[in-house]
Structure 1
Amino acid sequence: MTATLEPHRFSPPPSDGELLRAATTGDAAAFRHLFDRHAAAIRSYLIARLGPIAADDVLAETFAAAWVSRARFRVDADSARPWLYGIATVHAKRHQAAETRWQRASHAERQVAIGERPQEEIAASCSPALAQALSALSMKEREILLLVALGDLTVAMAARAVGISPVAARMRLHRARRQVARSLASHEGRSNA
């Protein structure tokens, strides 16, 4: 029994330019081959920039954008990798900018919802002495104290909510409680005199 040789098994693999030229005509298999060739390297780069969770989303966006713009690739280039890194970099920056905007908006909403309650609301929900003590706290200390006391969160959960470590949250909470206790003791001393 003689084995038949398949000639394509011995030919060099197609270049990135050839794959993209084929993809430009609608050959999805050629583009899939390009993806298989470069996805791991692009993903490693994105993990280093964004972390593993965001990297997969941005990797998908990168190759979707590459598919859309495949006709603009310089087919005389040896490798599509620099082109793909460029696309990945643009999408990573967009992702980081969107994440930053979301964090700022989320932080601003938390500040308004928790830390910057109008003094009238604070005063209406507690005694005048406590309202005065709370208003004397820094925004950061008041935020943690209110999350733990009124939000019924653990210190660790409050820390996560404001984006700080549990140790920092415990320190803020300790300072806030100490300052409120001093303020209330001072007020009590004045009212008994």
Structure 2
Amino acid sequence: MKIISTAIPDVKILEPKVFGDDRGFFMETWNAQLFSELGIQHGFVQDNHSRSVKNTLRGLHYQIEKPQGKLVRVTRGEVFDVAVDLRKDSPTFGRWVGEYLSEHNNRMMWVPPGFAHGFLVTSDSADFQYKCTDFYAPEYERTILWNDPTLAIDWEIKHENTFLLSAKDKAGDSFEQAKSELKGVSLQ
């Protein structure tokens, strides 16, 4: 497993070894011992899978209680994946990182607890799969607007009026509004 650093040290890009031949390929996407050695020592309690069409933008989602760490990957298609640091005691609080994840590059992103997360589908469709360190808690779920001017995320798409958003994502809070509810997540 190759580890690629990002501008936010706790967010990691993971590139598994892929063994392929004319029959197809094999890769290991989760190994508790290896991930522990890499510093990802969280237990996972839930796996999710979504399928979305091109220009679907999901996020930026987070939970104010029971924050979820996520190990995310794309098994079909491509997305631009974004993590925003919401840990008030972090030196990178309010900063974001983005990475293209696809079925071709096989990359995964580790998004620790205390981050908002979202993605934009850049292929015709995409299957997005992720492991979570805590259960979904809808009473604690919040959304920050994808186009918040303070965060200034560069989604690298010129025609944002074509984005497909859920009602929840259209009605998200600004980063400034969200800050009032953040209690600070441990940097562990």
TM-score range, shorter chain: under 0.3
Q: Which structure's residues are more often strand, by fraction?
A: 2
TM-score (norm 1): 0.20
Q: Which structure's residues are more often helix, by fraction?
A: 1
Higher relative contact order (CA 8 A, sep 6+): 2
